[in-house]
Structure 1
């Protein structure tokens, strides 16, 4: 399965989407194109590298130089097209969700391909999906989406990884199934973000009002989406040179 063209193309697509989210986050924070490329590399390749190190194999990002192409293309695309983008925060979440859907399913499938048991494969699928985004957000001094507490992030990834493992184990894994599962995770994540679905807080004494106060203080890009044209996304067109 590792040498499958399907796995390669989906993996590269996931790298590209995550790299786009990293470069858009850099633009949102007025980081230059070099810093954007670094955030794109962390977001696009970080999760896969962590997964492969845990599997005890040479990371695909190091074994195949083709994995370096999507982050570079993403950096150039954001630099050239960025000035025409008016809702940067929304795009960051959308591209992040796309990478999440692709990585959780194919990360789990790759883990099974290396002989991991079902539970470990699901865990590695989640690590693949959230690892790069976590590194991107920490380096950019942004509250990581996995810790934001405002919406579901790990749950869609774990669901996608579990369904991918079930598909592989039942022999139904293939291009159509893989695409459908990735699309399901993307839709799950975006609906959860838009509707602000939450899991229970760590301490029962905390209230939703407390959470709202914390989120207003943090101004996380993964917070409540703007509605009606106002909020964080409104007027987000980058200025000269792609900055805002």
Structure 2
């Protein structure tokens, strides 16, 4: 399998996974079928559109071909129709979200490198591709994006992007490096969920809040 074919496969698999995540969040927020589809599309396509805008690709790749719209739309409608069954598969949904993060991260990094982006830029674009759709999903639901408030999410994505960049620098075969990068993202994300790892937050927020209330 060539690197180009692998990227296309990874992108479409990531589209389905992230669309399911966005659609399920929309169902839980009690949106109608149109809202479920819109949120599914936004979650699936958001990261790729941000990537292409940063790379100067116009129009964005995900808006050029019908499969990029059909895959997430169909996935969102399936989730809308069978959401009770999907909701019961909580662990499967978390696993799917981790896989989507890994797939989008490595595809975004590889795409940036293919466009001649420097290593640090490619890694940041890869991370943004992975987390962008989920961040837009949370903003549309009027929530603080998950990536900013808890759990190891963006750091897992960045780790996978670095693996892809190192493989590119060392001229290692693209397919094994891409698979390794995605696997690292998934592994770090799942271990963080299992061990309940979170990035540090500022201490003493309760005291500061209490103090401000007392002053009022």
How would you bin the TM-score normalised by the shorter chain? 0.7 to 0.9
Over residues 82-105 of structure 1, what are the superposed CA-to-partner deviations in whole Å (9 max), with x where a residue is unaligned?
A: 232343654543332221111111
Change (3 A) 1:191 1:87: farther
* Count of equivalent residues: 206
Question: Contact (CA 8 Å) 1:163, 1:181: kept in 2 or not?
Answer: yes
Tell me what 1:80 maps to: 81
CA distance in 2, matches of 1:185, 1:22: 20
SS in structure 2 opposite 1:142?
Answer: coil
TM-score, normalised to structure 2's length? 0.87
Aligned residue for 1:106? 107
How far does residue 120 in structure 1 lie from its aligned partner after superposition? 0.4
Change (3 A) 1:173 1:73: farther
Residues 123 and 30 of structure 1, relative CA distance in 2, 3 Å threshold:
same
Name the counterpart of 2:212: none
Larger proportion of helix: 2
Alignment of 1:36 with 2:36, yes or no, is: yes
State the 4+ residue runs in structure 1 displaced beyond 6 angstroms: none
Larger mean CA deviation between 65-74 and 13-22 belongs to 65-74
Number of the residue aligned with 1:191: 191
In structure 1, stretches of 5+ residues that fail to align are 211-244
Root-mean-square deviation (Å): 2.2
How far apart are residue 204 of structure 1 and its match? Answer: 4.1
Matches within 5 A, 1:195-210: 195-201=195-201, 203-206=202-205
* Corresponding residue for residue 142 of structure 1: 143
Check conservation: 1:151, 1:192, Cα contact below 8 A: yes
Q: Secondary structure at the match of 2:82?
A: helix
- SS of the residue aligned with 1:85? helix
Deviates more, 1:158-167 or 1:75-84: 75-84
1:175 equivalent in alignment to 2:153: no
1:134-192 per-residue CA deviation (whole Å, 9 max, x = no partner) reads 001110223311112x3111100110111111112212243333223212211211221
1:165 aligns with 2:149: no
Say if 1:164 and 1:181, in contact at 8 Å, map to a contact too. yes
**Contact 1:24–1:92 under 8 Å retained in 2:** no
Judging changes above 3 Å, is the alpha-carbon distance between structure 1 residues 88 and 137 closer, same or farther for their aligned structure 2 residues? farther
Q: 1:28, CA displacement in angstroms?
A: 1.4
Is 2:62–2:69's contact at 8 Å kept on the other side of the alignment? yes
Counterpart secondary structure, 1:4: helix
Unaligned runs of 5+ in 2: 209-216
